[in-house]
């Protein structure tokens, strides 16, 4: 499984913008041929969500 990074809405930088963080325990779901991953931020433990390409989804399985 490859490392997945996503924007975390809770981990913000000095300019108060969401930052990219590693997603722990990503779960890939498919809906209407659109792939997405849900997981937890490695830094703060908050919930994360990211849309994936089909290739990305295949790599995570
Ligand atoms: Zn976070």
Q: What is the pLDDT along the chain (61 residues), one digit of tens a residue?
A: 578 999 999 999 999 999 999 999 999 999 999 999 999 999 999 999 999 999 999 988 7
pTM value is 0.83
Give the Å distance between the CA of 2 and the centre of ligand 1. Answer: 19
Residue whose token pair is 């997603």? 23
Give the Å distance between the CA of 44 and the centre of ligand 1. Answer: 4
Give the Å distance between the CA of 13 and the centre of ligand 1. Answer: 11
State residue 15's pLDDT score: 98
State residue 37's pLDDT score: 95
Q: Which two tokens stand for residue 14?
A: 């000095």
Cα 57 to Cα 27: distance, rounded to the nearest angstrom: 10
Residue whose token pair is 């997945």? 4
Give the Å distance between the CA of 50 and the centre of ligand 1. Answer: 13
Give the Å distance between the CA of 32 and the centre of ligand 1. Answer: 28
Cα 20 to Cα 41: distance, rounded to the nearest angstrom: 9
């Amino acid at each position: 499984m490859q490392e997945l990074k996503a924007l975390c809405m809770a981990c913000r930088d000095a300019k108060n913008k969401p930052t990219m963080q590693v997603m722990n325990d990503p779960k890939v779901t498919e809906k209407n041929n659109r792939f997405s991953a849900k997981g937890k931020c490695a830094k703060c433990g908050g919930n994360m969500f990211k849309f994936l390409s089909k290739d990305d989804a295949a790599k995570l399985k």
